[in-house]
Amino acid sequence: MAQNAATRRYGLVVTVALLVGLAGCGMLGGGGCGPGETEITDAADADGSVSVTGEVTETGQVSFVVDDGTATAFIQRPGDVSEGDCVTVEGRTVDTSNMGGADVAMQATNITVN
Residue 41: per-residue pLDDT: 86
pTM reported for the whole predicted model: 0.68
Q: Please write the tens of the pLDDT for every residue from 59-95.
A: 999 999 999 999 999 998 877 899 999 999 999 998 7
pLDDT of residue 31: 52
68: closest CA among 37, 45, 113?
37
Q: Across the strands, what pairs with 67?
A: 55, 72
Residue type, 39: E
DSSP code for 84 = T
Residue 4 confidence class, pLDDT cut points 50, 70, 90: low
Question: How far is Cα of residue 42 from the mean position of the Cα atoms in its chain?
Answer: 16
Q: Which amino acid is at 69?
A: G
